[in-house]
Structure 1
């Protein structure tokens, strides 16, 4: 018997969505790593429009010492 449309057992939500959660996490990781590679590439490393140029310069300076 359904009371106000509710079933005796709840409809599973998390179990069918595991593939979407996994795909989202993989996609976020890959996009993040590609962005990081692009920011640190030789072409854009010294570009003044790069908001991370100062941070990259400090890291390279520390690595040489």
Structure 2
């Protein structure tokens, strides 16, 4: 018997969605890696539109 739509046991949320959570975290990691390598590539290293240009220049001096 349900009281106000609540059941005795909760509906599982994380258990059936774990493959999507794993795939989402792998995708986020790969996108982050692609962005980091793209920003540090030779083509974009000295471009003034690169927001990390100053940080890359400071790292290359050391």
In structure 2, the partner of 1:53 is 53
4+ aligned runs moved over 2 Å, structure 1: none
SS of 2:23's partner is helix
Count residues with an aligned counterpart: 62
In structure 2, the partner of 1:14 is 14
Distance (whole Å) between structure 2 residues aligned to residue 51 and residue 8 of structure 1: 53
Query: Which segments of 5 or more consecutive residues in structure 1 lack a partner in the other structure?
Result: none
Q: CA RMSD in A?
A: 1.0
| TM-score normalised over the length of structure 2 | 0.90
| TM-score normalised over the length of structure 1 | 0.86
In structure 2, the partner of 1:34 is 34
